[in-house]
A = this chain, B = another copy of it.
Amino acid sequence: MTTVKDILDFLETVAPSSMKESWDRVGLNCGRLDRPVTTVLVALDPFADVCQEAAEIGAELLVTHHALLWEPGFITDETEQGRNALFLIENNIACINAHTNLDCAPGGVNDILAQKLGLTDITVIDPKGTDEKGRPYGLLRQGVVAEQSLYSFMEAVKKALGCQRLKFTDGGRKVNRVAVGGGACGSELQDAYKAGCDTFVTADIKYNQFWEARSLGINLIDAGHFHTENPVCVYLTEKLRQAFPEVTVAMSAWHADCASFY
């Protein structure tokens, strides 16, 4: 019978923990290794609604991108994270996360994002190393699209990622070579620029980063944290379905950013 440990071991091959950033913590967040698993829920975040959804579909395991517990502390209903952890443990639901290891891994968050945006000739910007198959890994990806106006490209981004709105600054250049970084990668702007890209798609961009882009003359697009990272859930879901055909793997139907535009 498939156990939590079987799935943890499989995810280690998909996103080796050795590829994570040094400050990050990944792996089994709560639960027991030998717990049998018949149903898995895959989601971006282990937020309260997602935990609720996991319970409702009878999942014994939740696989997420972001961790369940961020700060050291006790597990009580005095905090939001404590409440989520209590709920999962009380309902015998284990939780595994793959965070910066999945961002950097070949085939992970940023490869998925690049493909989703239709980039070709996708490569790793500033690789941190190679995996055992010799494939480079690292945070950002870059690739090529047919040269087009920024507005044409943004229209395509909205369609590909299902975003309501994009926030952007126009760097005054046509779009041809695009860097991508799912989630809050604004601080990597210089790396995207030095790699020769004319356009950078990421999320949670700060005021001064938009100004920095304008001064460098690079198009900078904030497509939203959720929309740039969520595509990896489809990938994880499929990977798990292939590896564990006997297990039901659901992707969170509770499937949206909590922020809107008006």
Chain A 227-256 interface mask (CB, 8 Å, partner B; 1/0): 000000000000000000000000000000
**Is A170 interfacial (CB-CB < 8 Å)?**
yes
B204 touches A30 (CB 8 A): no
With an 8 Å Cβ cutoff, the count of chain A residues facing the other chain is 63
**Nearest CB on B from A169, distance (A):** 5
**Nearest CB on B from A193, distance (A):** 12
Segment among A55-63, A99-107, A131-139, A210-218 that sits at the interface with chain B: A210-218
**This protein's copies in its complex:** 6
**Nearest CB on B from A117, distance (A):** 15
**Nearest CB on B from A93, distance (A):** 11
Chain A 21-53 interface mask (CB, 8 Å, partner B; 1/0): 000010111111110000000000101100000
Question: A: which residues have CB within 8 A of B?
Answer: 25, 27-34, 45, 47-48, 66, 68-69, 71-78, 80, 85-86, 89-90, 92, 94, 151, 154, 158, 165-170, 183-184, 203-208, 210-212, 214-216, 222, 224-226, 257-262
